[in-house]
C-alpha cells in the first residue's frame, strides 16, 4: 500500500465550535471502472472543497487520479470484484490508514455520495472524538441477525444495528482504536467471514456485539436505496450525504430545479454543488441588470 502523507493542513472556515475540518479523515471507496465517471464528478464537486482531507481507496493505479490527489490515492491491492471479501479488504485498508493518520474522526463514503462538509462538521461538533461514537443511517428498521460460530459446529444468533455504508458513516478515534483487534489488517476479513455479512454490517457487528457500543442513528445520511425524491428543497442543504442511482428500476435522484438540466446533470450533484457554492467557476452566474 502506498505511503500516506498527513502533513498537509488546510486553513478552512468550515469549523464549528471545537471541531475543525483538519480533524477529519474522509475515505471514499471506489474501483477502477468508476474513476472517470463517478470520481470525476466527485472531484469536480464536493471533493474540491475538502481535497486535503479526502483519501480515495481503489484497486488500480490511475495516473490522472494520482495527478489530482497525489498520495491521497491509496491503492489497496484488493480485488476489483463486487464481493464481500473485496469490499471487506478495502474497508480494512480505510480503517488502517485512519489509525495511522492520528486524526479525530473517520468518515466512510461510497463513490456515489455527495458530502456536505459544513453539515458534517455541524453534526460531529455535537460529539467528542474521545467518546465512543458510531453515527450513520440504519439500513433496516430493525436489528440485523447474524450467526456466530460455536464449538462442535453449533451456531448462535446475534442481533445488532449497523449504518449502511452506501449512505456513509463516521466513527470516533477512541472507538476505532478499540475496534482494531477485529478490524485491523486481515482481522476485518476474518470477522466478516465469521458472520457471512458484508463490510458495513461487519462494522456494526464489531461495535455492537464485540464492544457493546451503539449506533447513533441519523437521518442526515442518504443512500440510493431510499426514495431521494422525498427530501424537500429547503432541507437539501442540511443533509450530510446524498446519493443517486437506480432504485426499483427507476432513476433515483434528489428533486432540484436548475441550474443544469437533468440531461446535463443526471445525478443532480452539479446543481446541488452550485446551490451550496454559487461562486464556483463553472456554475451559471445570475444576470445582473
Q: Which residues are catalytic?
A: 200
pLDDT, tens only, 189-238: 999 999 999 999 999 999 999 999 999 999 999 999 999 999 988 899 99
Mean pLDDT, the chain, rounded, equals 91
Longest dimension (CA), the chain: 80
Q: Which residues contact 260 (CB under 8 A, 6 or more apart)?
A: 270, 271, 274, 284
Specify the pLDDT at position 133.
98
Length of the chain measured in residues = 289
DSSP state of 85: H
Instruction: Enumerate the H helices of 149-268 as residue ranges.
Output: 173-183, 186-195, 199-205
Convert 234-256 into a string of H (helix), E (strand) and C (coil). Answer: HHHHHCCEEECEEECCEEECCCC
Domains of the chain and any CATH numbers: 21-217 (3.90.550.50), 228-276 (no CATH)
**Does residue 82 surpass a pLDDT of 60?**
yes
**Does residue 4 surpass a pLDDT of 70?**
no
Mean pLDDT of 145-163: 92
**Does residue 11 surpass a pLDDT of 70?**
no
pLDDT confidence bin for 3, thresholds 50/70/90: very low
Nearest residue to 163 via CA among 131, 199, 128, 127: 199
CA distance 213 to 160: 10
Nearest residue to 36 via CA among 68, 76, 78: 68
**Does residue 270 surpass a pLDDT of 90?**
yes
Residue bearing cell 490522472: 64
Mean pLDDT of 163-174: 98
Its pTM stands at 0.90
Mean pLDDT of 235-244: 98
Amino acid at each position: 500500500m502506498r505511503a500516506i502523507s498527513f502533513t498537509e493542513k488546510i486553513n478552512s472556515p468550515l469549523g464549528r465550535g471545537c471541531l475543525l475540518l483538519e480533524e477529519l479523515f474522509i475515505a471514499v471507496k471506489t474501483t477502477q471502472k468508476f474513476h472517470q465517471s463517478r470520481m470525476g464528478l466527485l472531484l469536480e464537486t464536493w471533493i474540491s472543497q475538502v481535497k486535503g482531507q479526502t483519501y480515495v481507496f481503489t484497486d488500480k493505479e490511475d495516473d490522472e487520479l494520482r495527478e489530482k490527489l497525489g498520495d491521497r490515492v491509496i491503492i489497496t491491492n484488493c480485488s476489483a470484484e463486487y464481493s464481500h471479501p473485496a469490499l471487506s479488504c478495502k474497508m480494512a485498508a480505510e480503517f488502517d490508514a485512519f489509525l495511522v493518520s492520528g486524526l479525530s474522526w473517520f468518515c466512510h463514503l461510497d463513490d456515489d455520495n455527495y458530502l456536505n462538509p459544513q453539515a458534517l462538521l455541524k453534526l460531529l461538533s455535537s460529539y467528542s472524538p474521545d467518546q465512543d461514537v458510531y453515527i450513520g443511517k440504519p439500513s433496516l428498521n430493525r436489528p440485523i441477525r447474524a450467526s456466530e460460530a460455536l464449538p462442535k459446529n453449533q451456531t448462535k444468533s446475534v442481533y445488532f444495528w449497523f449504518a449502511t455504508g452506501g449512505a456513509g458513516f463516521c466513527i470516533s478515534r477512541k472507538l476505532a482504536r478499540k475496534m482494531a483487534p477485529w478490524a485491523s489488517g486481515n482481522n476485518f476479513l476474518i470477522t466478516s467471514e465469521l458472520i457471512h455479512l458484508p463490510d458495513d454490517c461487519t462494522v456494526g457487528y464489531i461495535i455492537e456485539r464485540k464492544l457493546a457500543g451503539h449506533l447513533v442513528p441519523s437521518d442526515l445520511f442518504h443512500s440510493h436505496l431510499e426514495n431521494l425524491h422525498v427530501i424537500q428543497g429547503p432541507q437539501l442543504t442540511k443533509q450530510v450525504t446524498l446519493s443517486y442511482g437506480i432504485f426499483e428500476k427507476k432513476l433515483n435522484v434528489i428533486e432540484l430545479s436548475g441550474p443544469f438540466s437533468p440531461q446535463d446533470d443526471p445525478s443532480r450533484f452539479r446543481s446541488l454543488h452550485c446551490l451550496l457554492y454559487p461562486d464556483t467557476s463553472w456554475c451559471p452566474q445570475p444576470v445582473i441588470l
